[in-house]
A and B are shown apart, each in its own frame.
Chain A
Amino acid sequence: MSADYLHLCSVILKQCFGNVVESVANCLFSATTRTLSQIVSTTKLPRKEVCVALAVLIRFRLVSFEPSQTNPFLPEYSLRREDIIFLLRHPRYIYLMQNKYGNVGASITEELIHSGSHTHVNKVLLNCLADEDVGTANAETHRNTFLQMISDHYIIKMPELIEGDDQDESVPRFQSDECEYFRHPNIDLHLLSMISKGEASLSDSKESNMMWTLNYDRFHQDFRDAIMVDSIKRKLGDSAAECFSFILTLIYNTTDPWQRKTSNQITFMEIKQTIERKSNNLDLIKYLDQYISLLTDDSLGFLRKVGDMGNGQYLVDMERAFESLAFACIESVITERFGSKAARIFRVIRFKKFIEQEDLQKEAMIPAKEAKSLAYNLFQEQFIHVKVIKKPGGGSNGPAKAFYLYQVKQKDTVRMLLDISFKALYNAIERSSYEKFEHKGLIDKSQRLDAIVETMRERGESDEFIAEIMETFTPPECEILKKVKNRIQALSKAELTLDNSIFLLQMYQHHCTTLPTSIQKFK
Chain B
Amino acid sequence: MAAAADIAQLVLAVIKGIPTGATNDDLTKALTDIPAATRVEGLNILLQQGGIEILKKGEKLIYRAKDPEKVSALPKDADNEEKVVYGIVEEGGNKGIWIRDIRMKSNLNMTQLNKILKNLETKKLIKAVKSVNASKKKVYMLYNLEPDRTVTGGAWYQDQDFEVEFVDVLNQQCLRFLQMKRENAEKKREGPLVLREMSCCTVNEVHKFISDLGVSKVNLDEDDLETILKTVVYDGNAERVMKSDGSYVYRAVNSPLPPTGLIQMPCGICPVIKNCSDCGDVTAINCQYMKDWLD
- Chain A contact residues, CB within 8 Å of chain B: 7, 231-232, 234-237, 239-240, 283, 286-287, 290-291, 293-294, 299-300, 324-325, 328-329, 331-333, 336-337, 340, 343-344, 347-348, 351, 363-368, 370, 417, 420-421, 423-424, 426-428, 430-431, 434, 483, 486-487, 490-491, 494, 496-502, 504
The CA of A283 and the CA of B233, in the complex, are separated in Å by 30
Residues on A with C-beta less than 8 A from B234 are: 344, 347-348, 351, 363-364
Residues on B with C-beta less than 8 A from A417 are: 262
User: Is B267 on the interface with A (CB-CB < 8 A)?
Assistant: yes
Give 25 CB contacts A-B under 8 Å.
A235-B253, A235-B255, A235-B256, A286-B191, A287-B193, A290-B191, A300-B256, A325-B256, A329-B257, A332-B255, A333-B268, A347-B236, A363-B234, A364-B234, A365-B156, A367-B164, A420-B262, A424-B267, A424-B273, A430-B284, A434-B284, A487-B295, A494-B264, A497-B264, A499-B261
Would you call A333 and B260 a contact (CB within 8 A)?
yes
The CA of A236 and the CA of B192, in the complex, are separated in Å by 9
20 additional contacts (CB under 8 A) given A337-B263, A427-B287: A231-B256, A232-B256, A235-B253, A235-B254, A235-B256, A287-B193, A300-B256, A333-B263, A337-B268, A337-B269, A344-B231, A363-B230, A363-B234, A365-B228, A368-B162, A424-B262, A491-B294, A498-B264, A500-B261, A504-B257
Would you call A291 and B167 a contact (CB within 8 A)?
no
Residues on A with C-beta less than 8 A from B268 are: 333, 336-337, 420-421, 424
Partner of A331, one of B236, B293, B294: B236
Q: How far is the CB of B174 from chain A (nearest CB, A)?
A: 12
The CA of A46 and the CA of B134, in the complex, are separated in Å by 74
Would you call B263 and A332 a contact (CB within 8 A)?
yes
Would you call B235 and A340 a contact (CB within 8 A)?
yes
User: Is B184 on the interface with A (CB-CB < 8 A)?
Assistant: no
Would you call A299 and B239 a contact (CB within 8 A)?
yes
Would you call B265 and A234 a contact (CB within 8 A)?
no
Q: How far is the CB of B129 from chain A (nearest CB, A)?
A: 19
- Chain B contact residues, CB within 8 Å of chain A: 156, 162, 164, 167, 171, 189, 191-193, 196, 227-228, 230-231, 233-236, 239, 253-265, 267-269, 271, 273, 276, 278, 284-285, 287, 290, 293-295
The CA of A293 and the CA of B285, in the complex, are separated in Å by 52
| Nearest chain B residue, comparing its CB with the CB of A340 | B235
| Nearest chain B residue, comparing its CB with the CB of A231 | B256
Would you call A423 and B256 a contact (CB within 8 A)?
no
Would you call A423 and B276 a contact (CB within 8 A)?
yes
Residues on B with C-beta less than 8 A from A348 are: 234
Residues on A with C-beta less than 8 A from B230 are: 363
The CA of A431 and the CA of B239, in the complex, are separated in Å by 42
Residues on B with C-beta less than 8 A from A291 are: 192
Q: How far is the CB of A45 from chain B (nearest CB, A)?
A: 22
Partner of B256, one of A234, A239, A421, A426: A234
Would you call B257 and A325 a contact (CB within 8 A)?
yes
Q: How far is the CB of B130 from chain A (nearest CB, A)?
A: 15
| Nearest chain B residue, comparing its CB with the CB of A494 | B265
Known: A234-B255, A299-B239, A430-B284. A332 touches B265 (CB 8 A): no
Known: A287-B191, A329-B257, A427-B284. A343 touches B235 (CB 8 A): yes
The CA of A273 and the CA of B215, in the complex, are separated in Å by 53
Q: How far is the CB of B19 from chain A (nearest CB, A)?
A: 41
The CA of A231 and the CA of B294, in the complex, are separated in Å by 30
Known: A344-B235, A365-B231, A498-B262. A290 touches B267 (CB 8 A): no
Residues on B with C-beta less than 8 A from A7 are: 278
Partner of A336, one of B257, B269, B285, B287: B269
Residues on A with C-beta less than 8 A from B235 are: 340, 343-344, 347
Residues on A with C-beta less than 8 A from B294 are: 431, 486-487, 490-491
Would you call B162 and A367 a contact (CB within 8 A)?
yes
Would you call B192 and A287 a contact (CB within 8 A)?
yes
Residues on A with C-beta less than 8 A from B253 are: 235
Known: A430-B285, A500-B260. A237 touches B192 (CB 8 A): yes
Residues on B with C-beta less than 8 A from A494 are: 261, 264-265
Would you call A290 and B287 a contact (CB within 8 A)?
no
Residues on B with C-beta less than 8 A from A501 are: 260-262
Q: How far is the CB of B191 from chain A (nearest CB, A)?
A: 4
Would you call B236 and A343 a contact (CB within 8 A)?
yes
The CA of A499 and the CA of B256, in the complex, are separated in Å by 18
Name which of A365, A420, A430, A499 has the most chain B CB atoms within 10 A of its CB: A365
Residues on B with C-beta less than 8 A from A487 are: 294-295
| Nearest chain A residue, comparing its CB with the CB of B186 | A237
Residues on A with C-beta less than 8 A from B278 are: 7
Would you call A431 and B284 a contact (CB within 8 A)?
yes
Name which of B171, B193, B295 has the most chain A CB atoms within 10 A of its CB: B193
| Nearest chain A residue, comparing its CB with the CB of B261 | A497
Name which of B234, B258, B269, B290 has the most chain A CB atoms within 10 A of its CB: B234
Residues on A with C-beta less than 8 A from B260 are: 329, 332-333, 500-501, 504
Would you call A498 and B265 a contact (CB within 8 A)?
yes
The CA of A498 and the CA of B267, in the complex, are separated in Å by 10
Q: How far is the CB of B14 from chain A (nearest CB, A)?
A: 50
Would you call B196 and A294 a contact (CB within 8 A)?
yes
| Nearest chain A residue, comparing its CB with the CB of B256 | A231
Partner of A234, one of B258, B273, B285: B258
Residues on B with C-beta less than 8 A from A347 are: 233-236
- Going nearest first, the 3 A-B pairs with the smallest beta carbon separation are A497-B261, A424-B267, A231-B256
Q: How far is the CB of A319 from chain B (nearest CB, A)?
A: 16
Q: How far is the CB of B268 from chain A (nearest CB, A)?
A: 6
The CA of A102 and the CA of B257, in the complex, are separated in Å by 28
Residues on A with C-beta less than 8 A from B267 are: 420, 423-424, 427-428
Residues on A with C-beta less than 8 A from B290 are: 427, 431
Would you call A428 and B228 a contact (CB within 8 A)?
no
Q: How far is the CB of B273 from chain A (nearest CB, A)?
A: 6
Would you call B231 and A328 a contact (CB within 8 A)?
no
Q: How far is the CB of A490 from chain B (nearest CB, A)?
A: 6
The CA of A426 and the CA of B260, in the complex, are separated in Å by 17
Residues on A with C-beta less than 8 A from B264 are: 494, 497-498
Name which of B162, B192, B258, B295 has the most chain A CB atoms within 10 A of its CB: B192
The CA of A286 and the CA of B190, in the complex, are separated in Å by 11
Residues on B with C-beta less than 8 A from A331 are: 236, 255
Would you call A434 and B285 a contact (CB within 8 A)?
yes
The CA of A225 and the CA of B149, in the complex, are separated in Å by 50
| Nearest chain B residue, comparing its CB with the CB of A232 | B256
Partner of B193, one of A235, A293, A336, A498: A293
| Nearest chain B residue, comparing its CB with the CB of A490 | B294
Q: How far is the CB of A480 from chain B (nearest CB, A)?
A: 12
Name which of B257, B259, B264, B295 has the most chain A CB atoms within 10 A of its CB: B257
Residues on A with C-beta less than 8 A from B263 are: 332-333, 336-337
Known: A331-B236, A344-B234. A336 touches B192 (CB 8 A): no
